[in-house]
Each structure stands twice: as structure tokens, then as C-alpha cells.
Amino acid sequence: MTIQGILPLEGIKVIAAASSKKRLFHDIGNMAESCFGLNHTMVVDALVEREGLGPTGVGQGVALPHARLPALDQVCGLFVRIKKPLDFDSVDRQPVDLAFALFAPEDAGVEHLKALALVSRTLRDENIRTKLRANEDPSTIYTILTEAVTAQAA
């Protein structure tokens, strides 16, 4: 599994701000609708439901919101860089400015966990986070995310 396999170039967005976690989920829902043809409301509801189990802010300004959706047949993802960091109830209490949302089929099993591990490992790298925060161009962000994994694998 690679980031190229789950994240399309058009699945990257830089936004100025999000007024709340739920507002960010609505932005992600809009992206999921346009990129993957998913129902906006279903995506938002699934993200809110999952977040109710515990915050997906993993620290260092990174959030990994994720959900399982019946409308999917493979794992897919979206990336949002938020210029004005957002309170996300993260484990380290730091606001979030990098969010990688993952969606998996309801019966994805281990594939969902592999995708979460891959994205988490990538965004744990301080150099990658620094580069992501320094760029606003979706193509550049895509290159940073996809080349990071290739470099780590080598």
C-alpha cells in the first residue's frame, strides 16, 4: 500500500481556517463527494461518529480522522492543510494544521489499519511536516507526501 494508491492529487486542499472540527469535517465531506462520489452527509456523520469514540488528533499538529463507509470498495484518503491551526482535542493539546482523512470499506479489516499506519508513519516525520507547512500548492504537497514514503522504503 502506498500513499499514491489512496490519495489522488485532487484530494489535497489548503484552507485558510476552519471554525471547528465539525466545519473541517464538512470541508472533508465536500472533498470526498467531488473526489470519490461519496455522499457528503454520510461522510460527515461517519467522521463525527468516529470522533465521538475518541479524538483523532495524534499530536504534533496532525489529525487522522477516519471512518468506514459502506459505499466504498477500497481505502481512499484526502489531505487538508489548515493555515490557521484548529483546536482538535489532540493527545498533546496542540492545535491541528495537517489533517489526513482516511475512508475504508466497512469490511476493510487490515487494509484500513495498514493505511492508518502508513499515513501516521509518514506524518510522524518532522521534516515532512515542516515541508508540508511551508507549501500551499497541492501538487507540491502531493509530491512531498508521496516521495516521503518512497524515500523511507529505500
pLDDT tens-digit map of 62-88: 999 999 998 798 999 999 999 999 999
* pLDDT bracket for residue 150 (50, 70, 90): very low
pLDDT (average), residues 57-61: 94
Backbone angles phi, psi at 59, to 5 degrees: 110, 165
107 φ/ψ sector (left φ>0, alpha ψ -120 to 50, else beta): alpha
**66 catalytic residue (yes or no):** yes
* pLDDT bracket for residue 148 (50, 70, 90): low
What the chain holds in terms of domains, given with CATH numbers, is 3-153 (3.40.930.10)
CB 62 within 8 A of CB 100: yes
State the residue for C-alpha cell 489526513.
Answer: 100
Predicted TM-score (pTM) above 0.75:
yes
For 8-53, the pLDDT digits (tens) are: 999 999 999 999 999 999 999 999 999 999 999 999 999 999 999 9
Q: Which of 26, 40, 66, 112 is catalytic?
A: 66
More confident residue, 55 or 7: 7
pLDDT of residue 110: 86
For 104-146, the pLDDT digits (tens) are: 998 877 888 899 999 999 999 999 999 999 999 999 999 999 9
